[in-house]
Amino acid sequence: MKKILVVDDENFNRDIIKKVLIKEGFSILEATNGKESLKMLESNDIDLILMDIMMPIMDGFKAIETIKKQSLYKKLPIIAITALSDTQTYQKALKLGAKTLITKPFKLPLLIDSVKSALKDE
């Protein structure tokens, strides 16, 4: 069973993603900020990360950058999630190493397809 780490500071967002992806057969771990996601990554075998961009303590950009600098996680797929829909945010997320970026409010079929696609590519 593929393990997905959902990183978002809002419980509501994590709950929706968690329910949908569990129905799709995935195992879900949760973190509330980038710093917490780094700790989760160290102690778990993660197959994919869904990373919110705007969070307290450590934002998604910094977390993605930190994760991708580690050779062990260079190929780990990360999908960025954000309410920001500007081109700069999208380009920055991709430049830092995200596979793609999904904007909130996201459509659940798109989220599921993006997750499955990212896991196929790994």
Which tens digits make up the pLDDT trace of 59-84? 999 999 999 999 999 999 999 999 98
Query: pLDDT tens digit string along 79-119?
Result: 999 998 888 999 999 999 999 999 988 899 999 999 999 99
Q: Where are the domains of the chain?
A: 3-121
Question: 3-121: which CATH topology?
Answer: Rossmann fold (3.40.50)
What is the pTM assigned to this prediction?
Answer: 0.94
Residue 36 predicted with pLDDT over 90: yes
Of 113, 118, 120, 107, the closest CA to residue 24 belongs to: 113
Strands of 1-122 (E only): list them.
3-7, 27-31, 48-52, 78-82, 100-103
Residue 37 predicted with pLDDT over 80: yes
